[in-house]
Amino acid sequence: MQNPDEIGRQNEELRDSRAQTYDIRFGFTRGGQRKLLSLIPLGQNPYVLDLACGTGYALREAANRTSGQGQFYGVDNSSKMVEMAQIKSKSYPNLHFLKSRVEELPFDNNFFDVIMSSNAFHHFSNPEKTVKEARRVLKPHGRLYISDIAANNAFMRISDKFSGRLEPARVEFYSRKEFQAFFEKAELRYVGSVRSDVIPPIEVHIAEK
């Protein structure tokens, strides 16, 4: 098993290298992010966190849905992604971006109403610690939404092993049952999983504090 610090370093280098062209190369993921947001009731004046926020697209979409209300935070382990997100979001005074590891978030306990993550969980070097850290900064009854490719069958498991060899910075895709286990260990209540009708292998896994 690779050292988590080494995985983190590889991911940082990978995301740094992709920051300038990310929105062009990975524009196909936007439909999945919009699907994720459609499942999140933001309410009034929400405090929202995006884990591995990239260039900030999902947070800008979320902010557009609240008519300027709320505070939206994004963390990414790539300083270049954070810089790009800040540039693209400069007309949004309630969007904030910080460089941070997802396992060590720079926020107080019980701070967020909603935490989300899209297309990134398979890169996190310590998924259990990440989910526990998300629980720490969630408010009581706050919800965690994780959108990622789900390895629910043998075909996806084999594809996962093969593609992992092509991208060293990637860790693993997880099944629905594995997400339930992550939530249970973090003392979060499993709410359910919703399969994306945009990219079928993707599922959104939902938990509540």
**What pLDDT digit, counting tens, does each position of 79-131 carry?**
999 999 999 999 999 999 999 999 999 999 999 999 999 989 988 989 999 99
Reference 58, options 88, 83, 13, 78; nearest CA is 88
| pLDDT at 112 (0 to 100) | 98
User: pLDDT at position 12, please?
Assistant: 74
pLDDT higher than threshold 90 for residue 136: yes
Confidence of residue 38 (pLDDT cuts 50, 70, 90): very high
Residue 152, pLDDT score: 60
Q: Domain ranges for the chain, please list them.
A: 4-34+45-208
pLDDT at position 56 is: 96
Q: In which element (H, E) is residue 32 found?
A: helix 30-38
Checking if the pLDDT of 192 tops 60, the result is yes
CB-based contact 72:96 (threshold 8 Å): yes
- Tell me which of 35-44, 53-62, 104-113, 198-207 is least confident: 198-207
Does domain 4-34+45-208 fall under CATH 3.50.7.10? My reply is no
pLDDT in tens, 157-188: 555 455 554 565 656 789 999 999 999 999 99
Residue 21 has pLDDT above 80, yes or no: no
Question: What's the CA gap between 149 and 90, in Å, rounded?
Answer: 31
